[in-house]
Amino acid sequence: MLSKVPIALAVLLSISPSFALWPAPRQITTGSTALKLSPGFKITTTGIKNVPSDLTDAITRTLNFIANDQLQALVVDRGASSAGVVKTAKSLSSLTLSLKSTGTVKSISEEAILPLESRVEGYTLVIPADGSAATLQANSTLGLFRGLTTFGQVWYELNGNAYTLQAPFHIVDSPAFPYRGFMLDTARNFFPISDIKRTLDAMSWVKINTFHWHVVDSQSFPLVVPGFTELSAKGAYNAQSTYSPADVKDLVAYAAARGIDVIAEIDTPGHTAAIAQSHPEHIACPDATPWSQFANEPPAGQLRLANPATVNFTSNLLVSAASLFQSSYFSTGGDEINANCYTSDAQTQAELSAQGTTVDGALNTFAQHIHGALRSVGKTAVVWEEMLLAHSVDLDKSTLVMVWISSDDVAAVVQQGYKVIHTSSDVFYLDCGAGGWVGQNVLGNSWCDPFKTWQISYAFDPLANLTTDQQDLIVGGQHLLWTEQSGPANLDSIVWPRAASSAEVFWSGPGGNGDTALPRLHDISYRFRQRGVNAISLQPEWCALRPGACDLNA
């Protein structure tokens, strides 16, 4: 008997804890028949001319996951009581992939970096219960990849068999929002490429499609930019803590093959103190103290935004950096500009006076130049909300605005007709709640306390209190990890599985039930660990094996 699971309202999941797809498909019907994979199970394509190599690689990875996950069902006996029905179950011998469209076949990597409005990620997955071939159809190779991701989550292991108890499956799925991201700051503390690749893998397993790379900041400048190599030579922590053009090319390709677009950020004009190590002429109030009067974090230092040479330097820097990335988007930041830094800088004051303008006036001119430079090389600017709400910069309507100070600020952005990416600190900041990191402040809290649990982000409604027209301006959202207190040692544990919660919100849509989501999120954590990503436990295993038994009023 088939049962329908509406978008993000996975009622079935409270009944069948071993059913654990994440993010929840937008339309799904399932049954109650056992099905196992045959020993010779294979994934093939039909009707696809010149199958892209990254699709072939994705098929191979899917087969390897099915063979190696060895994940037992999260029930008390870990599935042992199902041994009889699994042993006699019919066997699925193949999954066949096909494209509905007949046009030119693009690779996953090509599809992943298209502008947001052009990405096609939907798919239809049918797994019969009688052992006949399963089918996966989509209008793009990217859609096929998303379907493969779902297919790989269906199966559990018992006595050497990969099996499910919920056949048949009929899934028609596509994302509610085109942008589903994760941001990593690699400037406060450095992360090797291997750690970032592991994170990209994990992102792809929950259909996150954008890596927002906050690659440089005041503390260090690890990105090696062609024509500006002195910035990293003097601004990185050391020669080993850098990302070369070859590293970036490798990482961008790795991400794209997993359906992920890499959007780099070079924050301007604030958060640029590291540039003073090689170009002090471009930085106001470098290393000024006490730092708290000149910056939100040490060390102090901001670009001399009113200086024509600095504007040209910054434009050229951004264009060169942008050439390393395939994305249609590039972030120029624009947050936490400190007014006192410019007030105390004699050169900036003289230049403002000579031009007859204010800091905000100079900022507007600065932004026009750097964003124009990026547009000239085909990039759309991404900014933090202050550029629009605190400084009234005249932004092009194509600009994507990240709202981070408060989710309440979304209304003011969409009222001006700009597209919004939800990144609010009250919902999506992963670093909150770890205590203050500033020295000589032993009783200090993190500024964005409390700790943001997965439940907080999972319950978030990206469309709340917006009109229909305004809702169309919400392109998605992301979790963010600022790394004052994070590094390779705790990357996995601080990100996963919390970041998976926003992946479902922005794929499946708002309105998910946190109670029925918890067993599935347990499953994701366990599956991640089987694949080498050290996601934390959300409850004692006793609870994970007994869905609902540890509820507050159980």
Kindly tell me if the per-residue pLDDT of 64 is higher than 90.
Answer: yes
pLDDT per residue as tens digits for the range 237-276: 999 999 999 999 999 999 999 999 999 999 999 999 999 9
What does the pLDDT average to over 60-87? 96
Residues with catalytic roles = 336
Provide the pLDDT for residue 9: 39
Dihedral sign from CA coordinates of 267, 269, 273, 278:
positive
Please state, rounded to an integer, the average pLDDT across all residues of the chain: 95
Q: What is the pLDDT of residue 20?
A: 85
**Could you give the residue range(s) of every CATH 3.20.20.80 domain in the chain?**
179-544
Q: Which residue has the tokens 């049954």?
A: 31
Tens-place pLDDT, residues 360-384:
999 999 999 999 999 999 999 999 9
Residues of the chain with CATH 3.30.379.10: 27-173
Question: What tens digit of pLDDT does each residue of 382-439 get?
Answer: 999 999 999 989 999 999 999 999 999 999 999 999 999 999 999 999 999 999 999 9
pLDDT value at residue 1:
28
Q: For residue 300, how many C-alpha atoms fall within 13 Å in the half-sphere facing its CB?
A: 19
Q: Check if the beta carbon of residue 160 is closer than 8 Å to that of residue 10.
A: no
Nearest C-alpha neighbor of 416 from the set 435, 393, 438, 432: 393
| CATH entry, 27-173, from 3.40.50.800, 3.30.930.10, 3.40.50.150, 3.30.379.10 | 3.30.379.10
Q: What does the pLDDT read at residue 12?
A: 39
pLDDT of residue 2: 32
Given a cut of 80, whether residue 4 has pLDDT beyond it is no
The model's pTM? 0.96
Pairing relationship of beta strands 474-481 and 419-422 according to DSSP bridges: parallel
- Give the architecture (CATH level 2) of 179-544: Alpha-Beta Barrel (3.20)
Q: Measuring CA to CA, which residue among 249, 244, 252, 318 is closest to residue 113?
A: 252
Across residues 177-192, what is the average pLDDT? 98
- pLDDT at res. 14: 38
pLDDT above 60 for 161: yes
Residues 6+ apart with CB under 8 A from 513: 8, 9, 10, 11
Q: How does residue 103 score in pLDDT terms, banded at 50, 70 and 90?
A: confident
**Which amino acid is present at 113?**
I
pLDDT exceeds cutoff 80 at 3: no
pLDDT at position 444, please?
A: 87
